[in-house]
């Protein structure tokens, strides 16, 4: 498992990467009430592709790397509260990285824990 500075977790699954947000991020957001997921297709790193609305505010999730969105978690739009209840299971999308080695550059768990203190 790898982590981004934007508080996403990245889990390799074959040649794909599954993306969600960390428990820390979910806790900071508060109760999530709405999720807008991207369409499958190519995305560029940094593009705002997911909208999350909590009881408090709207936030964006960015594409963590260049690649192609191949699958989205449709069920999450129906049960956005899962992001708070089980953030590691509440995946948003699966992306096929343009560069198969792209995951190497991200934080490991120790580095992410140091980031959030």
Partner 1 sequence: MAGTAGSDHDGLACTGLHGLHVELGAKMVPFAGYDMPVSYPMGVLREHLHTRAAAGLFDVGHMGQVILRGPDRVAALERLVPADIAGLAEGRQRYALFTTPEGGILDDLMVANRGDHLFLVVNAANKAADLAHLAATPGLEVTPVTDRGLLALQGPQAEAALARLVPGVAAMRFMDVASLDWQGAELWISRSGYTGEDGFEISVPAAAERDLARALLDQPEVAPIGLGARDSLRLEAGLPLHGHDIDTTTTPVEAALGWSIGKARRTGPRAGGFPGADRILAELETGAPRRRLGLRPEGRAPMREGTPLFDAPEGGRALGQVASGGFGPSLEAPLAMALLPADIAPGAQIWGEVRGKRQPAQVVSLPFVPSRFKR
Q: How far is the CB of 15 from partner 1 (least distance, A)?
A: 26
Report the DSSP beta bridge partners of residue 45. none
Q: How far apart are CA 41 and CA 21, in angstroms?
A: 21
Residue 37 is a binding residue for partner 1 (CB under 8 A): no
> Which of 70, 30, 21, 17 has the alpha carbon at shortest distance from 50?
21
With beta carbons less than 8 A apart as the criterion, state whether 11 and 1 touch: yes
Binding mask 79-98 for partner 1 (x = CB under 8 A): -xx--x--------------
Give the total of residues touching partner 1 (CB under 8 A). 26
| Secondary structure (3-state) at 90 | coil
Residue 28 is a binding residue for partner 1 (CB under 8 A): yes
Within 40-69, the residues that bind partner 1 by CB under 8 A are: 51, 53, 55-61
Q: How far apart are CA 58 and CA 97, in angstroms?
A: 27
Q: What residue ranges bind partner 1 (CB under 8 A)? A: 6-8, 21, 24-25, 28-31, 33-34, 36, 51, 53, 55-61, 77, 80-81, 84
């Amino acid at each position: 498992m790898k982590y981004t500075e934007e508080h996403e977790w990245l889990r390799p699954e074959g040649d794909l990467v599954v993306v969600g947000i960390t428990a820390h991020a979910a806790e900071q957001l508060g109760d999530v009430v709405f999720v807008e997921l991207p369409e499958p297709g190519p995305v560029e790193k940094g593009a705002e592709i997911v909208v999350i609305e909590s009881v408090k505010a709207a936030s964006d999730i960015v594409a963590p790397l260049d690649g192609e969105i191949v699958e989205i978690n449709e069920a999450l739009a129906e049960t956005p509260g899962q992001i708070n209840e089980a953030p590691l299971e509440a995946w948003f999308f699966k992306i096929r990285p343009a560069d198969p080695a792209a995951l190497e550059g991200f934080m490991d768990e120790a580095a992410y824990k140091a980031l959030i203190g």
